[in-house]
Amino acid sequence: MNVIVNESPVEIAENSTVEQLLNHLDKPLKGCALAVNQSIISRSKWSEYKLREGDQISLFQAIAGG
């Protein structure tokens, strides 16, 4: 199935979890937060949250500056 990650299409296996998507992307995830369709998914839910066709995933880093 296809999902959108930060505006780019990504093809992943049916019923993939957030964690499986992140493993597939092979991106450094330090200090990152993740949202599916504009709703933040807590890190403690990444291993169980199942993605669906067309989901819009936003990955962004914590910023600390001020």
Partner 1 sequence: MLSDAEMLRYSRHLLLEDVGELGQKDLKDGKVLIIGMGGLGSPAAMYLAGAGVGSLVLSDFDCLEVSNLQRQIGYQTGDIGADKVELMKHRLEMINPEIRVRSINVEMDEAQLLMELMMVNLVLDCTDNMDSRQMINAACVKAKVPLIVGAAIRLEGQLMFFDNRQADSACYHCLFPNSEEQTLNCSNSGVLGPVVGTIGTMQALEAIKHIVGLPSGVKNRLKLFDGKTLDWQTFVINKDPNCTVCGQNR
Q: Name the site residues for partner 1 (rule: CB under 8 A).
A: 30-31, 33, 35, 38-45, 58, 60-66
User: Smallest distance, Å, CB 38 to partner 1?
Assistant: 5
User: Smallest distance, Å, CB 56 to partner 1?
Assistant: 11
The radius of gyration of the chain's CA atoms, rounded to the nearest angstrom, is 12
User: Which lies closer to partner 1 via its Cβ, residue 13 or residue 45?
Assistant: 45
Cβ proximity of 17 and 51 under 8 Å: yes
- Reference 41, options 64, 11, 19, 16; nearest CA is 19
User: Which lies closer to partner 1 via its Cβ, residue 2 or residue 61?
Assistant: 61
User: Which lies closer to partner 1 via its Cβ, residue 25 or residue 49?
Assistant: 49
Return phi, psi of residue 36, to 5°.
-115, 120
